Copies of this chain bind each other. A is one copy, B any other.
Amino acid sequence: MKNYSKIGTSEEARTELHDKLGLTGAEISINILPAGGCVPFVHSHKQNEEIYAIVEGEGAVVIDGENIRVKAGDWLRISPEAKRQFFASEKTALKYICIQVKAGSLEGYTMNDGVVSN
């Protein structure tokens, strides 16, 4: 595999990066819900922790029945087993990044995994 891969992104409703970038440790999607829209189902995960970054707009996520308001700049971690559903507000579209990783998979990071060359 090449030592890197790079793509630009467009304004599609959903862009999935795993295959486009050749990811091996995560799936990442970029999602846009129109104003008043929502993900049309509730879901959880078997193994994967999900991390969400709210990029633009505002809305809410219902997690195990709890309604949590979200806005641009917010980040969330959601445990695999939690049942979740995202909603855009009535006034703004909601653009967010969703990062799926296997819960508990990270070993070292930054100072414990990085190697400085010079």
Instruction: Show the binding face of A for B, using Cβ within 8 Å.
Output: 1-9, 16-18, 21-29, 41-49, 51, 53, 63-64, 68, 70-71, 73-79, 81-83, 97, 99-110, 113-118
Contact = CB atoms under 8 A, between A and B. Distances in A.
B4 A78 contact: yes
Contacts of A28: 51, 75, 99
18 contacts: A3-B63, A3-B79, A8-B73, A21-B75, A21-B77, A24-B49, A24-B103, A24-B105, A26-B26, A29-B110, A42-B118, A43-B116, A43-B117, A44-B115, A44-B117, A53-B97, A102-B107, A105-B105
A113 B110 CA distance: 28
A78 B48 CA distance: 22
Given A70-B6, A74-B7, A99-B99, A44 B104 contact: no
A113 B97 contact: no
Given A9-B73, A74-B8, A79-B4, A51 B23 contact: yes
